[in-house]
Amino acid sequence: MRTISKFLVPILVCVLTASSLAYAALLKFDPVVVGERVSVNNVQQETGLAYIGTLTNPELSDDELPTGAQLYIVEERQGNLLTRLRPHFGDSFAFAWLVSVYTANYPHSTYELWTPLGPARALHDDIRKIGNGRFSIWHGSVYFSFPAGKTLGDINRLEVLVPTFPMLRAEKLVGVAGAAAIIAAVSLSLYGFTAVARPLVRRSRLLPSIVPGVTICLVLTVLLIVGSEVYMRANGMFPEDRAVWGSEYVPEMGFRLRPGAEAVWTNGIDFWTRSRVNSIGFLDKEPVIPKPPGVFRIMVIGDSMVEAAQVSLEQKFQIKLGELLQHDFPGSKFDVVALGYSGTGQANQLPFFERFKDQLKPNLLVLVVANNDLANNSPLLEAIRHGWHPEHLPLLFLKKDPNGSCSRMDMDASWQRYVLAPRKEFDRLMKLREMSPGYKQKLEGWNPTAAEAQALDFVFYRTGQLPPVFEEAVELTRCSFTEWKRLAERDGLPLVVIVVPGVRGYEPDVENNGQFQRIFGIMAELNIPLLDLYPEFIKRGRMVDAHFKFDAHWNSTGHQWAAEATFEYLKRERYVQGREEERSQSSKVGR
């Protein structure tokens, strides 16, 4: 017996180590342990549901002798080990929070998902007519179809894996390695428990001192897990996958939230909000229509900074601004309405004003400029970001005419029929370069990595000459503000622009920020009054205190600071004044 135990532990340790490493490697994974990996290139649609691709091994074929080759579609997914484990933890709020924290700290983590297609060796006619993943390896080519719900734009690449020994397929070996690891681990645990328990039983005096400690640790662990779950549920700290963003498309206007719907929003870590959409489709209080007599109404228009889905209604900028005005001028009536929608620029926001100005009848127009607005005003950059076709756009954009003037591009209510197939920004960039010589010329000088293509807004922070598409975006932003100024003057409305701190950036050397220089230059050129919130925030405290830790949007403190700075500016520049002051000014004029 002693001889057996002498060799048992080393054997079990070796089995556990080898099987665990094999299991991890297989999951990582090369789906064939011993064999050949063959890439699929030049994928083209053939007939019906069939596609055809060229194999890097021109001699590979299943027509005479089955090779056991398996076709995989490979998709790149955003996430990590925790996101892959998420489905196994059901509806746990606590585990969802843990996933969100990890993802926020490692936002660029990705993994590859390999999905086998089949059945193999299908008839070509069945591939064309039935599809659903059927494929055939035929003389250096692969004829295949996608499973239901998958398209060519969904995949990262296609791989054919040919096992030298068909029995050594990873899907079989994963189960074998996993079972071996579990058996070895359980055996080692039982052996270890027996080895520890035997002397403890013999020396029973040790048991009373060890058992309570172990029991307390187990109880505290269970209480921590259960307590976290109960706390998060009781406080409405729901997972990201429970967020509800009920937007709708309105022709000639663009996107808005569905009137009367409840917007449920979270980043899974910092904030959890439930907001009711008002009757005109924005996250603001219900506007009084028609406007009551004697009310001075300020219309605030912008993107997600104005939408402010991250905070409750009473914490928002426009509510705080209205309270400050009303408190300082008790004899007057003020109302501040907000029209904000995420991801929109000044060109996209023009229809908000034109659609609702006659109903809301504002006395002052305020535009809030954020750090992604330059790109938002570019049809080509937004096509890269969202996958829209640059000539079939859901939102309003402006263009530069050959004579140098600016004009509006037509909005296309059927824009969904023309969306670009690739799902990644980098892939859409490559596709646009191939689509048109004009697009290729505008995109010259910009050769980003995949991560840089996702973060295209940061290009505007550079000083000096930018690639043509970014210089065009600056020009289109100038066109947009020119149009806003024209509309405001036509309707006799004062126009004020508020620039959020992010436009300058958050680095110490913000004065040398190219985006700051470009936007401020446009405002100076067009003689549009501007309030820069950066020095106002610095004056009030640390910049980090105005934002959520894992979200660039303002928290309640940021909204309060923005409201205070705007109130002081409007009062100082005499855009607003109270009834008593109006009467005083009138009496002075009468004298």
pLDDT value, residue 149:
77
Average pLDDT score over the chain = 86
- Enumerate the domain spans of the chain: 32-168, 298-583
pLDDT band at 215 (very low <50, low <70, confident <90, very high): confident
pLDDT value, residue 513:
84
Q: Please state whether beta strands 295-302 and 364-369 pair in parallel, antiparallel, or not at all (unpaired).
A: parallel
pLDDT band at 24 (very low <50, low <70, confident <90, very high): low
Mean pLDDT of all residues in 269-277: 95
Q: Report yes or no: 277 and 259 within 8 Å, Cβ to Cβ.
A: yes
- Selected residue with higher pLDDT from 150 and 329: 329
Share of the chain above pLDDT 90, in %: 62
pLDDT value, residue 168:
47
pTM of the model: 0.78
pLDDT value, residue 19:
62
| pLDDT surpassing 90 at residue 31 | no
**For the purposes of burial, counting CB atoms within 10 Å of the CB of 244, is it exposed (0-12), middle (13-18) or buried (19 or more)?**
exposed
* Per-residue pLDDT tens digits for 537-557: 999 999 999 999 999 999 999
- Selected residue with higher pLDDT from 204 and 15: 15
Q: Report yes or no: 429 and 384 within 8 Å, Cβ to Cβ.
A: yes
- Selected residue with higher pLDDT from 364 and 86: 364
How far is CA 439 from each of CA 408, 424, 458, rounded to the nearest angstrom? 19, 18, 20
DSSP of 274-326, one letter per residue?
A: EEE--TTSSSSPPP-SSPPTTEEEEEEEESHHHH-TTS-GGGSHHHHHHHHHH
- Selected residue with higher pLDDT from 276 and 171: 276
pLDDT band at 190 (very low <50, low <70, confident <90, very high): low
pLDDT value, residue 192:
63
pLDDT value, residue 30:
46
d(C-alpha 292, C-alpha 418), whole Å: 45
pLDDT value, residue 591:
34
| pLDDT surpassing 60 at residue 163 | yes
- Selected residue with higher pLDDT from 199 and 133: 133
In three-state secondary structure terms, 370 is coil
pLDDT value, residue 183:
74
pLDDT band at 1 (very low <50, low <70, confident <90, very high): very low
How far is CA 381 from each of CA 156, 372, 376, 472, 474, rounded to the nearest angstrom? 22, 11, 7, 10, 12
How far is CA 1 from each of CA 7, 197, 407, 558, rounded to the nearest angstrom? 10, 18, 91, 72
| pLDDT surpassing 60 at residue 583 | no
Residue with tokens 């640059």: 390
Q: Report yes or no: 82 and 99 within 8 Å, Cβ to Cβ.
A: yes
* Per-residue pLDDT tens digits for 496-531: 999 999 998 765 555 568 998 999 999 999 999 999
366 beta partners? 300, 496
pLDDT value, residue 76:
79
**For the purposes of burial, counting CB atoms within 10 Å of the CB of 110, is it exposed (0-12), middle (13-18) or buried (19 or more)?**
exposed
The least confident of 34-38, 116-120, 188-192, 552-556 is 188-192
* Per-residue pLDDT tens digits for 297-313: 999 999 999 999 999 99
pLDDT band at 292 (very low <50, low <70, confident <90, very high): very high
* Per-residue pLDDT tens digits for 378-425: 999 999 999 999 999 999 999 999 998 999 999 999 999 999 877 789
Mean pLDDT of all residues in 230-238: 92
Mean pLDDT of all residues in 153-171: 70
pLDDT value, residue 108:
77
* Per-residue pLDDT tens digits for 40-70: 999 998 989 999 999 999 999 988 888 888 9
Q: Which superfamily, per CATH, for 298-583?
A: SGNH hydrolase (3.40.50.1110)
How far is CA 492 from each of CA 16, 363, 365, 488, rounded to the nearest angstrom? 79, 9, 10, 6
The least confident of 155-164, 358-367, 515-524 is 155-164
